[in-house]
Amino acid sequence: MKLRITWPAAIIFSIVAFMVFILSFVYKVTFLPEYDHHLVSEEYYKDELNYQKEIDMQTKGLDLKENVSIKKTKEGLLIIFPKEFEPNDITGEIYFKRLSNDKIDFKLPIELNSKEFLIKKEDLLEGRWDVIIEWTANKNTYLFKEKLMY
């Protein structure tokens, strides 16, 4: 006995198979946690309103003789602040953001004894990080942003 499929049945079977294929992807993206989709920022619109302030703070940092710099060392990540300021006068916070996983984002307060701030390599996972340093010295607030691969 031969199994014979007519062309209308083959077309209907193909359409149904394609719909199952597409719906399986919709299910995965919607309900499975490994395909979690989220915004970069939970407060996107609030952040957008403060964007001009960020630009002004970044411009202040660029106008300095020497801006903040970041170097990768054997011990970890070394952040070097400008020499024109006393270390005790510098305060602020350093934010580490990971676009691929916001659960490992963290921030550190800036407490300096010298011009250098070291973040140990045990505190950072390998991969791409967005580093945002918001710091204040002599009643001026500065902002430094850099994307880096660690």
- Domain CATH code at residue 52: 2.60.40.10
Range of the domain at 128: 44-149
Residue 29 makes CB contacts below 8 A (sequence gap 6+) with 35, 37
Q: pTM for the whole thing?
A: 0.67
φ/ψ region of 38 (left if φ > 0, alpha if ψ in -120 to 50, else beta) reads beta
18 and 60 both lie in a single domain: no
Banded model confidence at residue 15, pLDDT cuts 50, 70, 90? very high
128 and 54 both lie in a single domain: yes
Assess whether pLDDT exceeds 80 at residue 40. no
33 and 89 both lie in a single domain: no
Alpha helices in 1-150 (DSSP H): 7-31, 44-49, 51-63
| Tens-place pLDDT, residues 111-145 | 888 888 888 888 888 888 899 999 999 888 999 99
CA distances from 121 to 27, 110, 113, 130, 147 (A): 38, 17, 20, 16, 17
31 and 77 both lie in a single domain: no
Evaluate whether 129 touches 150 at the Cβ level (below 8 Å).
yes
52 and 3 both lie in a single domain: no
